[in-house]
Copies of this chain bind each other. A is one copy, B any other.
Amino acid sequence: MMKRIAILGSTGSIGRSTLSVAEAYPERFQILALAAGANLEAAFEQACRWQPRVISVAAEKDADILRARLTKEGLGAIEVVHGAAGTVRVATHVEVDFVVSAIVGVAGLEATYEAVRAGKIVGLANKECLVAAGELITAEARRQGKPLLPIDSEHNAVHQCLRGGRMEEVERIWLTASGGPFLNTPRADFAAITVAQALNHPTWRMGKRITIDSATLMNKGFEVIEACRLFHMPPEKVEVIVHPQSTIHSMVEFVDGSILAQFSVTDMRLPILYALTYPERIQSDMRFPVMDMRHLDFCPPDMQKFPCLRLAYEAARAGGAKTVALNAADEVAVAAFLAGGIGFDEIPRIIEDTLSATGSGKLESIAQVLEADAEARRYAKQRIADSSGRVKQPPAPSFV
């Protein structure tokens, strides 16, 4: 049966990989709705190539231009929408079966939540959906009786391994972590880590924020929270294990002592294909050369050296606005580090202070999530301004 797909974030990396999967299996997947971003040219090309029912772009004026250009191409039947409402329109289109949620940041939250509310099956590639709004979104998916399918290598691996038993038979989820570029850097040297060093990730080429998040292990911390929400696990059942080769994408340990692990080529098209076809699997040529698998190392993460991971566990336990604040403060702190405003070792301090200032009340709506997010950002920015202010201030007069 043809699966009809909407992509939120169609011009990003996951969006383009999803389109390439759809291209490889034209008899299985139909691209029905696209939410592009600010890249008008890419949106125009995708609209021409895929002729979806509806396409959304960020700005109203871009929507007008796109509509005119498509009409000129004889594609005036494609509905062109824009902004947050446009993304929701794409996510909830009545003909869509499956929504790929791949808009980076909290911008993707509302549309993803609305997709779940509309009874769509959602493939999740957006971190914030589970970190900031995981309790809301998973509760809604349960209400709808629809699966939330992870599209990232770790949670996708966990999802596959979990098929080896029942949820109540899971002893522990093992998320593997490459360890980042500073796995073997002494803690004393962390203050002096430069932006260039932090951007030099050993195994993956990624965006700047996620590269820094990998260097601080905050990215793994986010994944712990995602795993807790997605698989309804308490944080103490989600362990991080450093595995520099990143061959094993993750593991599940069952109560009887058996461990299942998943590996595959590191190609995002594979988890996308898995999510799009679940519970089926279909033939692909993405083969992992088993013979190449050797020298797998494993060690526990150093929570002293990487306090971000500890903070993520604390936020996961507290829930509510704490995980929202964790993500928001991290984004602010990483931006400040990249801009040269704070040192590498100050990132966790900003986050920790923001967490302390955040209540752990339950959030009842996406609007409340966005509000908590904005508040945490304000706090983190102020905290950065204050501390750089302190440094710049002359010493207080001694008679005070």
**A interface list, Cβ under 8 A from B:** 160-161, 163-166, 169, 174, 241, 248, 251, 253-265, 270, 273-274, 277, 280-288, 290-300
Kindly state the separation between the CA atoms of A280 and B170 in the bound complex, as whole angstroms.
11
A164 near B161 with CB under 8 A, answer yes
B260 near A262 with CB under 8 A, answer yes
Q: Closest approach, in angstroms, between the C-beta of A15 and any C-beta of chain B?
A: 20
In the assembled complex, which residues on chain B have CB atoms less than 8 Å from the CB atom of A258?
160, 262-264, 270, 274, 281
Q: Closest approach, in angstroms, between the C-beta of A371 and any C-beta of chain B?
A: 40
With CB as the reference atom, state the residue of chain B lying closest to A170: B281
Kindly state the separation between the CA atoms of A251 and B260 in the bound complex, as whole angstroms.
9
* The one of B166, B257, B285, B294 that contacts A288, using a Cβ cutoff of 8 Å: B257
Number of copies: 2
A288 near B259 with CB under 8 A, answer yes
Kindly state the separation between the CA atoms of A263 and B161 in the bound complex, as whole angstroms.
12
B174 near A290 with CB under 8 A, answer yes
Q: 25 A-B residue contacts at CB 8 Å? A: A160-B260, A164-B164, A166-B281, A251-B290, A253-B290, A255-B282, A255-B283, A256-B282, A256-B283, A257-B264, A257-B270, A257-B284, A257-B285, A258-B263, A258-B270, A258-B274, A258-B281, A261-B261, A291-B299, A293-B296, A294-B295, A294-B296, A294-B297, A294-B298, A295-B297
In the assembled complex, which residues on chain B have CB atoms less than 8 Å from the CB atom of A291?
241, 298-300
Kindly state the separation between the CA atoms of A165 and B162 in the bound complex, as whole angstroms.
11
Known: A256-B270, A258-B281, A259-B262. 10 other contacts (CB 8 A): A160-B260, A251-B290, A255-B283, A256-B281, A257-B264, A257-B270, A258-B262, A260-B262, A291-B298, A295-B296
* The one of B174, B255, B281, B296 that contacts A254, using a Cβ cutoff of 8 Å: B281
